Structure 1
C-alpha cells in the first residue's frame, strides 16, 4: 500500500471523526485530518532535525524539527506518536512520547489538520528511514534558532514552524 492509499479519519473543527478517506484524496480535497508532531531530543538535550525527502507527499525537501506524521484511521494520537517516532528515527523500544497539547493547524488552501504535539528523549542510536529522511542531525536549540532565520537558507515545513512556536510559548507559560 502506498502512502497515498493509507486510510485516515476525517475530522470536524472539534476533532470529531466524521468520515474516512485515503490520504491522497484527503490531501487533494483539503479534508481535515489528524497529525502528530514529536520533538525528539538526545541525552544532551539536542533536538533531532531532518530534511524530508523530495518524494514526500507534503512539504518535500523541507527541514523539520519534529518527527511525526498522520494518524491512521482508528488510531489514537498516542499510538501514532510512538509509531511515527520509532519509524522516522529508525529505532524500536522508544519510551512512549509525552503528550503536551493539541492545536488546529490552518495553512490555508485547504491545508488544515488537528495537531498533537509530543516530546520524547531518544538515547538510542538513530537510523532514519531513507525514504522519509534525506539528512538528519541532533542540533543544540540555539543552532536550531539560528537555522530558523531566513539568512540560513534552510526552508522549514510550515506546520512544524507553527508547532514549534506554540511549543516555545507552551514552555514559557509552564514555567
Structure 2
C-alpha cells in the first residue's frame, strides 16, 4: 500500500467501489498493489501507483504487516511518497479519491468506513511521525 502525501500534509485516500467483493464502499490507501512473479515490493508499488493515480514519485519503505481476513491472506508492504502532481484516478479501481488532513484520516482509519488494512498501514505511517 502507498500513501501519497501533499506538501501541505494532506493524504490521498481512495474510496473502494461499491461493486468490490471484498470491503466494498470502504476507504483505502492512496494505492494498493499485489506483487507479481519476479517483482519486488517496490517495483509493484511503483507500477500500481502510476496505474491507479498517474503519479511517479520516489517511494519510502515504511514496513510490512500480515493479515488474514477470509478470503484474504496477505503480507502488505507500506510505502509513502510526497507529490503535488495532479491525480488521475483509475475509476475501474475505485469510486473516487480525495485528500484528507491527518486528523480526518485518523477518524476514517478508526471507523467502520475503513478497509482493515488501511488502519494497519496508517498505524505504520503515523509511527514514522509523518
Gaps of 5+ in 1: 1-36
How many aligned positions are there? 130
Q: TM-score of the superposition, structure 1-length normalised?
A: 0.66
Which residue in the other structure is 2:122 paired with? Answer: 164
Task: Call closer, same or farther: CA 1:58–1:69 in 2, change over 3 Å.
Answer: farther
Task: Call closer, same or farther: CA 1:59–1:119 in 2, change over 3 Å.
Answer: same
- The whole-number CA distance in structure 1 between the counterparts of 2:90 and 2:23 is 17
Task: Call closer, same or farther: CA 1:73–1:60 in 2, change over 3 Å.
Answer: farther
Q: TM-score of the superposition, structure 2-length normalised?
A: 0.86
Which residue in the other structure is 1:69 paired with? Answer: 33
Residue 49 of structure 2 is aligned to residue 51 of structure 1: no
Q: After TM superposition, where is structure 1 displaced by more than 4 Å over at least 4 residues in a row?
A: none
Distance apart, 1:59 and its partner CA: 2.3
Deviations 1:71-92 (A, max 9, x none): 112211010011111111133x
Distance apart, 1:50 and its partner CA: 1.6
